[in-house]
Amino acid sequence: MKTTERGENHRLSPRPLVEVLWTAFSAIALLMATQFGCAISSAKHAVPATRVPEVFLAETRSDLVPINYALLGQTPPATHMIAPGDTIGVYVHSILPPQQDAAPMVYQRSINEGYYPANGSLESPSMGVPMEVQVDGTIPVPLVDPVQVAGMTLADARKAIGEAYVKKELIQEGRERVLVSLVRARVHRILVVREDSQTDIPTMLRKDATIYTKKGHGEVVDLPTFENDVLHALTVTGGLPGIDAHNKVWVLRSGQSSEVAFQAAGSLLQNCENPHDAFTSMGCKERICIPLKIRSCDPIPFSQQDIVLNDGDVVYVEPRIEDVFYTGGLLPGGSIPLPRDHDLDVIEAIALANGSTGGPGGSSGVAVFRAGAGPGNIVPPTRVIILRRLANGQQLPIRVDLVKAMHDVNERILIQPEDVVMLHFKPQEQFSNVLLNFFDFNVSLSDAFK
């Protein structure tokens, strides 16, 4: 009798089942509060995206427009002006060359194959004995004193050489037969160091991949006078910087000897200055940054003298190593390169990281309390925490609400380099997902006890 009553009570009374379900629900709620307590606390102390001071916002890139690239080059003069370093061909009848009846020497000149010469010709004829213009601007012709030719055109130099021989009475006035031609214009040796890709074959990379095997590229180029500028240096060595490099060019002036440069760097280090500044200034008289894109309303930030290159100058193309943002939280962890030429806001960053921007579950929905029976994360996560590094080394947490960001453009904050973007559930979203999964689990238990 008692056994039957216990069996009937066990079968008819729903209290034990309710207590079991309530205990399970309490345990889940406690676990959820423990797991997400830190995330809720960090979101509470984060600054809303609409209240972030303007000084901490990322600078826009979409407003930048390309400069006129012709500004990076020089305008050559109509007539070549002779200067030290030029090699000219001189012919003086019966004197240079010394044979009495020798004809003008005609020969071909070769130009560096890596550089496209003027007039599109790799070889051009020249006449006369080649002579290099000395540092003082003179050429050592025989039987007369050195003739000053610096600052003259080829026609003026021919006249000056003829007058020098007439003055010495070596040639009768009016019967001078003098020819002067340009054999090789003076050149400037420039070092071009580029850290962008030099291959013509496109490389396909995952957006969360980081390049560790890319090799830098450097060349030593000899640029003729009036072509010794940034535009020709870039054109000879591969063109404008690629997307894996910053859209700017550094010109490092070489105006000090090595001994003076090392002494200057040593003094900076002894005074506890920034080691990076100490070593980047070694041997560098001046550092000039030439941006290739500026805002349409801004003035040109460089002058004509800045783009002219001299012997020993270095043209440097800097890589975009630090131009990435990091993902975490419910997003797949990784580092993702930022676009170089346009802006990326928080919604686009989440989509780029394969995260959910409003759909049920999404690829970022983590299977919390998803044991095969429940519906999973029906309610998507809509809270984003952005950790932004400040100039003083501290970080600023910024809170973004994706629901508001769908309608309010001020909520769609721009991502800047080295930001950490983390996606989280709001407490009510997590609670709703747990409740839906628990409800489905509860129905399954009820069906089991029928």
226-272 pLDDT per residue, tens? 889 999 999 988 889 988 889 999 998 876 555 665 666 566 566 65
Q: Mean of the pLDDT values across residues 94-110? A: 62
Strand-pairing partners, residue 108, are 125
What is the reported pLDDT for 316?
93
Tokens of 139: 């050429």
In angstroms, the CA 321 to CA 212 distance is 10
What is the reported pLDDT for 362?
44
Given a contact cutoff of 8 angstroms between Cβ atoms, the answer to whether 302 and 287 are in contact is no
**Dihedral, CA atoms, 74, 79, 82, 85, nearest 10 degrees?**
40
What is the reported pLDDT for 448?
46
Query: For residue 79, what pLDDT band results from cuts at 50, 70 and 90?
Result: confident
Quickly list H helices, 102-242: 154-167, 230-236
**pTM of the full predicted structure?**
0.72
Selected residue with higher pLDDT from 308 and 106:
308
- Render pLDDT for 277-328 as a digit per residue (tens, 0 to 9): 555 555 455 788 999 999 888 888 999 999 999 988 999 999 888 889 999 9
What is the reported pLDDT for 387?
94
What is the reported pLDDT for 168?
87
Of 90-99, 106-115, 419-428, the one with minimum mean pLDDT is: 106-115
**pLDDT > 50? residue 8:** no
- Render pLDDT for 31-57 as a digit per residue (tens, 0 to 9): 555 555 555 556 678 899 989 998 899
State CA 409 to chain mean position distance: 28
Mean of per-residue pLDDT scores for the chain? 76
Residue 66: count of CB within 10 angstroms of its CB = 12
What is the reported pLDDT for 96?
83
Phi, then psi, of 325 in degrees rounded to 5: -125, 160
What is the reported pLDDT for 111?
46
**pLDDT > 90? residue 137:** yes
Selected residue with higher pLDDT from 365 and 152:
152
Query: For residue 9, what pLDDT band results from cuts at 50, 70 and 90?
Result: very low
